[in-house]
Amino acid sequence: MKPLVASLVGVVLGCGPRVASNSASLPAPGTFLITAEQIERSGVHTAWDVLKHDAPMLLMREDRNGDPASISRRGRTSFLLEEAPLVMLDGVRVPDFRALASIEAASITSITIYDGVESTTYYGTGAVAGVIAIKTKDGRPS
């Protein structure tokens, strides 16, 4: 009989989920993972470009100069509520999503996008529009 903790897919510790190290474990429902290998294959230069290229559930708009203008989840738009997903960089909240354009893609080890119940369970009610959790090579575990 397996211990209970070993059979869990993810365990919540600190500020965000820890996914079990078992390679057979699958991401929790409502999560989307972009790996360093996918980022390298895409050939893009910033986290903003990675999300535009590899995250089909996000609707990302740019202004005339090509700078980030808005980000939202597809299918969850409202005229009254314009709320961008919460952005976390190595466990620290990024106050403005526009900073995604200044994070180098080469420094990213993974990007996990949480939606629905997973986002509010791990990060609270401030994450009702979802969470974009970025882990970098030089960052500390969150």
**What is the torsion angle, in degrees rounded to the nearest 10, for the CA atoms of residue 26, residue 122, residue 88 and residue 25?**
-10
Q: To the nearest whole number, what is the mean pLDDT of the chain?
A: 78
Domains, the chain, ordered by start: 31-136 (2.170.130.10)
According to the model, what pLDDT value does residue 39 have? 93
Whole-number Å distance between alpha carbons of 109 and 94:
17
According to the model, what pLDDT value does residue 77 have? 55
Lowest mean pLDDT among 2-6, 46-50, 82-86: 2-6
Mean pLDDT of 70-75: 82
Whole-number Å distance between alpha carbons of 32 and 71:
16
Whole-number Å distance between alpha carbons of 138 and 49:
20
Q: What is the DSSP string of 97-141?
A: GGGGGGSBGGGEEEEEEE-THHHHHHH-GGGTT-EEEEEESSSPP
